[in-house]
Each structure stands twice: as structure tokens, then as C-alpha cells.
């Protein structure tokens, strides 16, 4: 395949061009499982929620994170404790 050094732009939830990230085709994107995702300042910046309860963030080098927002995570944790 030719031109793997070209870059592609990626974003979460219609982020603005200024907030979009790029990655080289050779490297590709890397979908990463969140760890109780409520936004992680060291691996990515917080994008707006696609719908209530779901948080999607993008990081450097093609990483996209999917997880729960803080309120949803708290509700589920409380329900599990009270089961």
C-alpha cells in the first residue's frame, strides 16, 4: 500500500476542527477500554457527551476512549452496593 505516511483526522462527537486530532495511516487509530472513564487528563481530553451517560474522549496518536460519565458511574456503583 502506498502513502501510509499520509495523516487522517479524527474526532469524537463532532468536535471542532481546532479540537480534532490527526494520526498517520501507518499508525492507525487505537480504541482503548476506559477504566471507569469520566475523563482522563493524562491520556486524552474530555469531549462533550454523545448522549447522557456515555463519555467519549480522544487522545493523542489515534486513541479514542469510550466510557461512562461520572453521574452514571456513581449511579451504577450505588445500585450495586445496595443490591
Question: Residue 83 above 70 pLDDT?
Answer: yes
The pLDDT value given to residue 47:
47
The pLDDT value given to residue 49:
40
pLDDT tens digits along 12-54? 877 889 989 999 999 988 766 555 545 544 444 454 443 467 7
SS3 content of the chain, % helix, strand, coil (to 5): 20, 30, 50
Q: Give the predicted TM-score (pTM) of the model.
A: 0.48
Cβ contacts of 44-51, under 8 Å, gap ≥ 24 = 45/19, 47/11, 47/12, 47/13, 47/15, 47/19, 48/13, 49/13, 50/12, 50/13
Dihedral sign from CA coordinates of 36, 40, 44, 47: positive
The pLDDT value given to residue 24:
92
Amino acid at each position: 500500500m502506498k502513502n501510509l505516511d499520509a495523516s487522517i483526522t479524527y474526532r469524537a462527537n463532532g468536535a471542532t476542527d481546532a479540537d480534532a486530532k490527526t494520526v498517520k495511516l501507518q499508525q492507525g487509530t487505537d480504541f482503548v477500554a476506559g477504566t471507569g472513564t469520566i475523563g482522563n487528563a493524562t491520556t486524552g481530553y474530555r469531549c462533550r457527551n454523545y448522549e447522557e451517560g456515555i463519555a467519549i474522549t480522544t487522545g493523542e496518536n489515534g486513541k479514542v476512549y469510550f466510557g461512562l460519565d461520572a453521574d452514571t458511574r456513581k449511579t451504577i456503583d450505588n445500585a450495586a452496593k445496595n443490591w
